[in-house]
């Protein structure tokens, strides 16, 4: 009966309840919209760059990530790879080597980055294979002409004016201080001018190790986990495991590897949360007004309820249930409204007229996502604020003496 | 227990300093179980204040109130609420029914507070509606009932919890004389059949005629206390 009483009290001032309910519904829908878009956009961005190159977790020797040097290599690859093979949460891994180099072909020269990867493992860890624009994804074998195969970024192709089938000479410095130089054959071009690897030359891992004189050593392992959201936890636990196997390695989640993107994402998210907080605050001012008005109008009635034996807590409970009921109805209505909105956001989204640069990651479209967080957090915030704004009117109603309450009009 | 209501030198003042006014001044009364008493007097004599104090709706400025032998000043807020719920029934001049509840629900509500099982509550509601002559009107909201019918619901509500005392503040003031008389008949019958104690505050000659005790208040003091 208390629920019935609460429900009928809500319907007593239909117009007011409707307006309050709609403001809560509006607050909920805006919050869900914003959460969905923020989570979705960043989710896509994180997926984009972690799958594009970074991976979810990286392993380096010491401070290689901050101060990369060609001689700061990871040793003991067999032990590391054996350990990686036993870790269920790691879906795939890819060893890599890096070095700056001077590339030339014909009369053209260019500064490039050399990245050595295991073609098979890399294709399971990043989207390198999918980025091939012309030619064929490379392998470890040599060409018929006896050269190692390489894939080049779009910028290298344009600057040196070379393509599939052409030769390219790379000059660099080996880890032992020797001059590294060799001739390679281009078998594919990858990405486009806006890709991060625009000026990259990909070498098969063995070729790159030989080129840089770092036999059986690499600079980096990129790992893919089964859940990107748990990267930090997995990295921490894997750091402990790997410390037992090889000394001096640093395991970093993508949040550390791409700290500039992560920080700008967090700052942007906090800005969004602040705006959402203001919206929900305004909604709750409306709720407070409604509850206060309702309590003031029904003071005499509360006096009667107290007179016939309701405890103060019963009165508070009634006001609380009324607010929670209105909040629940508003959120349910909001949920109905958000269904088509979420379908649109997740399936269609917004195409940006100009890409947004987010810490180096280019966002071309904004798409939403649906998750428990997207729906539960806005609902929870509205519930919490509604509960809080009930306290003052509720206390007022339950602490007034029955005589004072009944003499009010 | 000799008395259901016992007041000792109760005073109730409103306002402060120069504006201080006595609504009740040194009032001592004892009311036995089963009495059918009326507190009478002109407007402002303190009748309603007296009922509010003995009903635990207000606190006296000084003095002691014992209900069924218990000093209500020593009760916590919660104990006093529970005491009102279980021992006192109120009937107000302006009915004071909950407008969003039907007649049945208004009667049932107090039993809900008493944690009485639903089947027993519904049976008691039917019984009460029959007692006050409102069978078939239980599903109506107060706004769909006449003043007399609303006051009958109020009587039924006051009776529903099985109280020891019914305090009725000018229960017939808003009713025509025939309706008032019929309501009074009901209350008198309940008093006689169930030995409930009734205390009225009233101007109504009809109630005064039927009451077995008349307590006359004037300017907050007892002017006379007449047992017929």
Convert the pLDDT of each residue in A198-227 to its tens digit. Answer: 999 999 999 999 999 988 899 999 999 998
**Of A4, A304, A306, which has the smallest distance from its Cβ to B81's Cβ?**
A306
- Cα-flanking dihedrals φ and ψ of residue A370, to 5°? -115, 125
CA-based torsion, A241, A243, A245, A249: positive or negative: positive
C-beta neighbour count of B124 within 10 angstroms:
19
pLDDT digit string, tens, across residues A350-376: 888 887 655 445 667 788 888 888 899
Instruction: Name the minimum distance, in Å, from the CA of A405 to any CA of chain B.
Output: 10
CB contact under 8 A, A308 and B110: yes
Domain B5-227 in CATH 3.40.50.300? The answer is yes
Taking residues A306-327, report their average pLDDT: 92
Model pLDDT, residue A409: 61
Residues in chain A: 409
CB contact under 8 A, B96 and A304: yes
Residue A2 contacts B, CB cutoff 8 Å: yes
Test the A interface: residue of B100, B103, B113 with most A CBs within 10 Å = B100
A325 contacts on B by Cβ (under 8 Å): none
Test the B interface: residue of A10, A301, A304, A308 with most B CBs within 10 Å = A308
**Of A5, A304, A401, which has the smallest distance from its Cβ to B58's Cβ?**
A401
CB contact under 8 A, B81 and A310: yes
d(Cα A369, Cα A367) in Å, to the nearest integer?
Answer: 7
Test the A interface: residue of B98, B107, B108, B165 with most A CBs within 10 Å = B98
Strands B62-67, A57-61: pairing kind:
unpaired
Residue A309 contacts B, CB cutoff 8 Å: yes
Collapsed DSSP state (helix, strand, coil) of residue A194: coil
pLDDT exceeds cutoff 50 at B191: yes
**Of A5, A9, A311, which has the smallest distance from its Cβ to B81's Cβ?**
A311
pTM: 0.75
d(Cα A253, Cα B117) in Å, to the nearest integer?
Answer: 60
Residue A300 contacts B, CB cutoff 8 Å: yes
B28 DSSP assignment: E
Residue A1 contacts B, CB cutoff 8 Å: yes
Domain ranges of chain B: 5-227
More confident: B53 or A51:
B53
Closest C-alpha among A223, A233, A280, A282 to residue A81 = A223
pLDDT digit string, tens, across residues B82-117: 999 999 999 988 888 999 999 999 999 999 999 999
Taking a C-beta distance cutoff of 8 angstroms, is the pair A228, A56 a contact? yes
d(Cα B108, Cα B156) in Å, to the nearest integer?
Answer: 10
d(Cα B60, Cα A299) in Å, to the nearest integer?
Answer: 22
């Amino acid at each position: 009966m208390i629920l019935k009483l609460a429900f009928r009290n809500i319907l007593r001032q239909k117009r007011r309840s409707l307006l309050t309910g709609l403001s809560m519904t509006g607050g909920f829908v805006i919050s869900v919209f914003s959460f969905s878009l923020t989570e979705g956009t960043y989710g896509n961005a994180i997926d984009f760059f972690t799958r594009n190159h970074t991976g979810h977790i990286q392993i380096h020797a010491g401070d290689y990530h901050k101060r990369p040097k060609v001689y700061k290599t990871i040793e003991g690859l067999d032990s590391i790879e054996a350990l990686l093979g036993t870790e269920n949460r790691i879906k795939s891994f890819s060893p890599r080597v890096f070095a700056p180099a001077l590339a030339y072909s014909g009369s053209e020269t260019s500064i490039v980055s050399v990245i050595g990867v295991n073609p098979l493992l890399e294709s399971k860890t990043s989207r390198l294979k999918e980025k091939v624009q012309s030619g064929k994804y490379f392998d470890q074998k040599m060409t018929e002409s006896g050269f190692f195969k390489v894939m080049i970024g779009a910028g290298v192709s344009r600057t040196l004016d070379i393509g599939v089938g052409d030769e390219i000479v790379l000059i660099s410095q080996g880890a032992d201080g020797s001059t590294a130089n060799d001739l390679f054959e281009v078998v594919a071009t990858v990405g486009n001018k806006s890709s991060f690897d625009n000026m990259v030359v990909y070498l098969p891992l063995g070729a790159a190790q030989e080129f840089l004189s770092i036999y059986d050593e690499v600079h980096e392992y990129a790992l893919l986990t089964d859940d990107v959201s748990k990267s930090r936890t997995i990295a921490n636990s894997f750091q402990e495991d790997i410390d037992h196997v090889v000394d001096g390695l640093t395991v970093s989640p993508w949040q550390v590897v791409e700290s500039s993107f992560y920080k700008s994402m967090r700052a942007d998210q906090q800005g969004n949360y602040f705006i959402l907080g203001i919206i929900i605050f305004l909604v709750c001012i409306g709720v407070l007004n409604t509850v206060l008005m309702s309590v003031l109008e029904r003071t005499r009635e509360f006096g009667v309820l107290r007179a016939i034996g309701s405890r103060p807590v019963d009165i508070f409970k009634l006001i609380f249930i009324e607010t929670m009921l209105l909040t629940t109805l508003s959120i349910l209505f909001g949920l109905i409204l958000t269904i088509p909105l979420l379908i649109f956001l997740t399936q269609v989204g917004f195409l940006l007229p100009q890409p947004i640069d987010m810490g180096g990651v280019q966002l071309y479209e904004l798409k939403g996502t649906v998750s428990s967080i997207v729906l539960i957090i806005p609902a929870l915030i509205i519930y919490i604020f509604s509960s809080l704004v009930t306290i003052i009117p509720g206390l007022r109603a339950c602490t007034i003496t029955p005589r004072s309450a009944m003499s009010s009009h | 227990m000799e008395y259901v209501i016992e007041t000792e030198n109760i005073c109730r003042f409103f306002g402060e300093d120069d504006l201080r006014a006595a609504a009740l001044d040194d009032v001592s009364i004892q009311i036995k179980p089963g009495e059918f008493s009326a507190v009478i007097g002109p407007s402002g004599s303190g009748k309603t204040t007296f009922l509010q104090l003995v009903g635990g709706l207000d606190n006296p400025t000084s003095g002691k109130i014992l209900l069924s032998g218990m000093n209500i000043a020593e009760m916590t807020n919660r104990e006093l609420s529970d005491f009102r719920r279980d021992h006192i029934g109120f009937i107000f001049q302006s009915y004071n029914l909950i407008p969003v509840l039907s007649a049945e629900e208004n009667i049932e509500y107090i039993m809900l507070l008493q944690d009485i099982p639903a089947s027993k509550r519904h049976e008691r509601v039917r019984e009460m509606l029959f007692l006050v002559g409102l069978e078939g009107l239980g599903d109506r909201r107060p706004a769909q009932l006449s003043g007399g019918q609303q006051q009958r619901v109020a009587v039924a509500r006051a009776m529903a919890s099985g109280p020891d005392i019914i305090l009725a503040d000018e229960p017939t003031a808003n009713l025509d004389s025939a309706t008032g008389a019929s309501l009074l008949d009901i209350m008198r019958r309940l008093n006689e059949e169930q030995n409930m104690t009734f205390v009225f505050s009233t101007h109504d000659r009809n109630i005064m005629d039927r009451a077995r005790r008349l307590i006359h208040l004037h300017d907050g003091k007892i002017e006379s206390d007449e047992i017929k």
